[in-house]
């Protein structure tokens, strides 16, 4: 759990690593007051200004799926070498090396 003032980020789940070093599994993510988090990222320059409206629209849609405007409840899924957040494909999953 991470807390920034009124914003709260929680994650729970299990990941395994397959023989190719790809994570598989699911982590459930809950972001409460996610707009505050986006504003912090924006102010820190982590999110380029031109992308802010698009990211906000996508996150608003995800929040709508959870039934609360201020909270995102979505799985971060790792499957077949790819990662997605809720219904949104994010791209190839990172390869992990366990020593």
Between helix 52-66 and helix 34-43 the angle, nearest 10°, is 160
The pLDDT tens digits of the residues spanning 34-49 come to: 999 999 999 999 999 9
Domain contains 37: yes
Report yes or no on whether pTM surpasses 0.95.
no
Domain contains 39: yes
Query: Can you tell me whether residue 4 is helix, strand or coil?
Result: strand
Domain ranges, residue 34:
2-92
The pLDDT tens digits of the residues spanning 47-68 come to: 999 999 999 999 999 999 988 9
Average pLDDT (83-91) is 95
Domain contains 11: yes
pLDDT at 98 over 80: no
Select from 8, 15, 9, 2 the least CA-distant residue to 93: 15
Q: Average pLDDT of the chain?
A: 93
pLDDT at 26 over 90: yes
Structural domain total, the chain: 1
Select from 62, 86, 71 the least CA-distant residue to 36: 71
């Amino acid at each position: 759990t991470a807390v920034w003032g009124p914003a709260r980020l929680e994650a729970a789940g299990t990941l395994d690593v397959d023989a190719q070093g790809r994570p598989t599994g699911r982590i459930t993510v809950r972001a409460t007051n996610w707009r505050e988090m986006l504003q912090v990222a924006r102010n820190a320059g982590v999110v380029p200004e031109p992308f802010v409206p698009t990211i906000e629209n996508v996150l608003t849609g995800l929040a709508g799926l959870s039934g609360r405007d201020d909270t995102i409840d979505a799985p971060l899924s790792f499957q077949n070498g790819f990662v997605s957040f809720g219904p949104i494909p994010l791209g190839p999953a990172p390869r992990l090396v366990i020593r």
